[in-house]
Structure formats: structure tokens, C-alpha cells
Amino acid sequence: MDVIYDTVLKIKDSVDVYISTGEPDICTIQFYHINTREKLSIRIAPEFGEVLAALDGVSPIAELMSSLGFVMDHGEFEEIIEYLLARGILEKPSFTDPDSRYSRQINFLSDWISGIPAHEAHKQIVASDVVVFGVGAIGSSIAIQLARAGVSRFILVDNKLLSLQSSERHPYFSTEAIGDFKVDALKRHLEKINCDINVTCIREKLLPHTELSRLVDRASVVVNTADEPYIGHTSIKLGRYLWGKKIPLYVAGGFDAHLMSTGDFYVPGESVCVDCCSGFFSAALVDWKPSYKIHKTNESKTHVVGGSGGTFSMSLFSASYAAIQILNYIAGGDAYKSRLSRRGEYIVGKGEIEWVSIKGRGDCSVCGK
């Protein structure tokens, strides 16, 4: 007996099947990947649809075929089964507990990350260390999304306190937490999501002399949203250090009133480096001089009176975009690669994302892009 007939198979949970039987001896079966929206169609003997429907992930194929009285040319049958396995329509039942906390995500990873079993991709997410500089609206929303996806170790770096104004855009805001360090309030929020999570709080501002090795050397990915003293400067400091350590840096959108930016993902050896990106935008924006109208009695505060504004929904766009790229990277995917060295911004007035391709200096000794 051929191996395939002893195999136990099932249709993937993330695949919908539509069968149309308009013709007498042939039917069209359309498979629809719910996660990735991809479609696949085959035309085959109508009885094959009955075999597909009978695949229960428990009984070997030979047993199902004999109970259905189904007969088909062996070579042709094996070929179609191999094809459906290769296209991710059929699978061998895995040991994912459908009631487990991450079963839906693992189901999604099975379509999103190719070349690695979904539970392995998920383990890589859980085993990741993420360091977040700046836990305002965007940094905290990224941390929360990664924690919900299973990331279990975080270092949070921010010296600011939660204020009443934080209620607008900080997802972990509560009135009882006003006056607490942001990192402490976020840590409590993350622990409510996952009681096994390990969060270290650093109540400091990232400064030119800050010693980075104690903070980032173990990181799988570092996220920077620290806009004080200025995100361009903090990103250069982090980007240069991390490139040498081969640790990726995500500079998440939101800075300079670009609340709906996709941000920049610096992946050593793959993207342009942080110096090239900075040089590219300095040249592109040479005539652009922002003017900030800070109220005279309020100079010590970061709240810009009469300046830019935005909603929590807008910061969530940037945070979600960044979190998706980071998750793809740490799970072992390659979808993030097509967005490297490009910066997009969702223009609310138009309802479109405008993209800029970032060109490095060809002779750059760091990235050579």
C-alpha cells in the first residue's frame, strides 16, 4: 500500500471550500485561504469532493475511500493529494490545542510564514526580547500588540509620567495611574494580558551618553519612539550601535506630527542604514522649516499649544503597521522585506498611503545601498 493511503489528513481550518457540480462527470472545487485571500481552483471527478469532505484528521485515507466505495487511478489520486498538500490546502493534523490561547494566531501563521511549521514560528515570537524606547501612544500600542501575540520579555525605557492628557492616546491610561511613571503603568497593563510576562522598567531618558549595552544587547528587536530630545538623534545613536550588533531597529511613526507614518525598519545587512536614511531626508526636506508654537507660559511641557494634533486611531495605524512588520520578522517570515527602505504615510484627507523609496549613499561603508 502506498504511503499516501496510510496518511491522516484534513483540510486546513483556514481554508474554505466551494464545490460547483453543474456538469455531469466533473466538478469545480474552489479553495479559498481566509487568512491570505488567495484562491485555487481544480476540476476533478465529483466523487473526489466526497473524499475531501470525509477527511477528518483521524482516519487514514484508505479507510475513508473504502467506506465511500471511491475508486480513482492511484497515480492521479496521489498527484492531486500531493498538490493540495504543497499548496497548503490539506495538512497533517498538528498538535495545536484548539482551545489554547494562541490557536487562532497559530492558524494565521500557518499561512503567513512559509518554510517553518506554524507552532515553531509562534515559539520564536514567544522567545523574543523586545526593547521599547518611549512608551507614549505608539510605543505602548506596539508593546501591547506584541504582548498579545505572545512576546514574553520586554524592557521599557521612558522617564515620563502619565498625565490627564495621556488619556487621549495612551491605551493603558487609567485615572488611578495619573502621576505614575508611564513604564510602570504599562508594565501593570501588560501583566494583566499575560501574567507570565517579564517586564523590566527603566525610568530614564535616552541621552547622548546613555550606555546602551545593558539595555539592548539581548534584544531580538529594538523599537524607538522616543521623540525627546529628538527622534532623529535617538535613532542615530541606537541605529549605529545596533547595526554593529546585527540587531534590527524599528523607528515607529508618529514623530514630527506624522501620526500615520509606517516608520522605518533598519535590518542590518538588508535595509539602508540609519545614517543613509537620515541623510536622504535631510536632503529631501532641506527647504522645509517646521515652526512650533509653544505657549510662553508652558515651555517646560511637551504639549504644543495650537500645534499638531491627532486621534488614538491615527497612532494605532502606525503602531499596528510596525507591529505587523516586527511579528513577521521575529516569526521567521519574509513579508517585511518588501517594505524595507521605504516610508509610507497614510494621508487622512485622501485616504491613500503615499510611499517614498529611501536611497542610501552608494558608497556607504555601513550599508552600501
10: Cα separation from own chain's centroid: 28
Residue 285 one-letter amino acid: L
CB of 236 to Zn ion, least distance (A): 12
- Cell, residue 193: 494580558
**What whole-number distance in Å separates Cα of residue 237 and Cα of residue 203?**
19
**Contacting residues toward Zn ion, per CB under 5 A:** 273, 276, 360, 364, 366-367
268 phi/psi in degrees, rounded to 5: -50, 130
Nearer to Zn ion, 268 or 310 (CB): 268
CB of 269 to Zn ion, least distance (A): 11
CB of 360 to Zn ion, least distance (A): 4
CB of 274 to Zn ion, least distance (A): 8
For every residue of 177-235, DSSP letters joined together read GTTSBHHHHHHHHHHHH-TT-EEEEE-----TT---HHHHTT-SEEEE---SS-HHHHH
- Cell, residue 338: 518588501
CB of 219 to Zn ion, least distance (A): 21
Nearer to Zn ion, 55 or 273 (CB): 273
Across 164-173, b (16+ Cβ under 10 Å) vs e yields eebeebbbbb
Nearer to Zn ion, 160 or 337 (CB): 337
Nearer to Zn ion, 304 or 366 (CB): 366
Nearer to Zn ion, 247 or 314 (CB): 247
